[in-house]
Structures are given as structure tokens and as C-alpha cells.
Amino acid sequence: MPVLSAQNLKKSFTTPAGTIEVLRNVNLAVAPGESVSVRGESGAGKTTLLQILGGLDTPDSGELFWNGERITKRGNAFLAKARTKLIGYVFQFFHLVPELTALENVLLAARIAGTPMRQAREQAKELLARVGLAERTSHLPTKLSGGECQRVAIARALINRPPLILADEPTGNLDECTGEAIMQLIIDVCREQNTALLLVTHNLDFAARTDRRLVLRHGILEEI
């Protein structure tokens, strides 16, 4: 059963300049452990799509399933709880809590999921070591480089062992060399943990490393 599937998703935005049809008819299924990349021009609707798939935004029509369960039209409380179990999100701009250390940022996600703190602390330290931050666990985000912040965000996305990671241009805000290392890290840890990955990227080389490559064009997701 796909960890994530979408059928006939449509989404448009109404602006003073008129209505933009961003997603016209999106169909997608992501199998457990599979990595899928999504490319598309700026403004093609990649972020809109990822937010809908992650339950952070709602489609105008169409159906969305998480682990086979229909989630379209479910309430926010249900979505928030189901999302914690199913999805780890990695954003372009990290979105770490500035007042919390690297370790605390990772632990926050475990706390939200209700994991006992002693167990979570061990797992968080292991994950931070896995992403190369064993020596930085007590640093605040302001004392970390961009690449290090994204490593923390990756550890945070993985702490609840979700079967799916959604990553929206996770290296878009990093220099080329750091971006390369971060992208390989995301792909490697998802493979190691058999976590499915839906990766939005502009970069053809990164896209080539995923099992399946899609392009969002004129509101439709095409296999290439």
C-alpha cells in the first residue's frame, strides 16, 4: 500500500489579478521506502503541492490518502496527530526554534508525538551524531551554520521514525558544496531507515539520485 497517494488534486488561488490554477489534476503514489523527486519551474506549484500532501493546506477537490487512509476533509486535530506519526517535513529555511538548542529542537518533535523523554533523548543524540553534529548538540541555531541548521532539521524530521519525509528544496538556501553534502545525507538516511522521500529540488543531479523523477508542469505531475 502506498504511504502517500493523491488522486485528481486541484488547487487554485484567487488574487486581485484573477484566478491562478496551480494544480489542475495531480495524481501520485509513493511506495514505502521509495524516493521520488519533483522538479518544476519557479511558481509551478511545488510548495503548494507539498503543503497539500502534508495536510498543511487543503485542495479544492481530489482525494488524499496517508497509509491508505482517506484524509481529505478530516479535521485539524486528526491531521495534526496523523501527521506527527507519518510525516517528517524539511523546509528550505530550516524553521528551527531559535531559543532551543539543537538537541532541544529535535526533542520538541518527540515531545509533540508523546515519546517518553528519556528514550527520545537517546534517539535524538544518536540522530544528531548520524547527521554529523555530535559535538554541537547544545548549540543554539544562531551559533550553527546553515548546513548545520539543516542537519538539525533532518534529525528533527526523523526523530519520530516517520515512514515519509517531505523535503521542499532543502538545499535551496545553502552554498553548492554544503547543499551537495546535505542532499546526499537526506537520501542516505532515508535509504538506511527505509523512509520514503518526496524531494522538491531544482537540481537535476539531485533528482537523478532518486528512484523516480517527476516534473510538475502546467498543474500536472508527469513522470520522466
Ligand X SMILES: Nc1ncnc2c1ncn2[C@@H]1O[C@H](COP(=O)(O)OP(=O)(O)OP(=O)(O)O)[C@@H](O)[C@H]1O
The Cα 108–Cα 88 span in angstroms is: 13
* C-beta nearest to Mg ion: residue: 47
Site for ligand X in 46-85 (CB under 6 A): 46-48
Q: Residues binding ligand X: what is the number (CB under 6 A)?
A: 12
Q: Which among Mg ion, ligand X, none contacts residue 20 (Cβ within 5 to 8 A by kind)?
A: ligand X
Q: Which among Mg ion, ligand X, none contacts residue 140 (Cβ within 5 to 8 A by kind)?
A: none
Check: CB of residue 196 under 8 Å from CB of residue 164.
Answer: yes
Q: Which among Mg ion, ligand X, none contacts residue 42 (Cβ within 5 to 8 A by kind)?
A: ligand X
Report in angstroms how near the CB of residue 177 gets to ligand X at its nearest.
22
Pick 40 or 163: Cβ nearer ligand X: 40
Is residue 219 near ligand X by the rule CB under 6 A?
Answer: no
Summarize as ranges the residues that interact with Mg ion (CB under 5 A). 46-47
Spell out, one character per residue from 7 to 46, where the chain touches ligand X: x when CB under 6 A holds, - when not: ------x-x----x-x-----------------x-xxxxx
Pick 41 or 192: Cβ nearer ligand X: 41
Pick 45 or 163: Cβ nearer ligand X: 45
Using CB under 6 A, list all residues that contact ligand X.
Answer: 13, 15, 20, 22, 40, 42-48
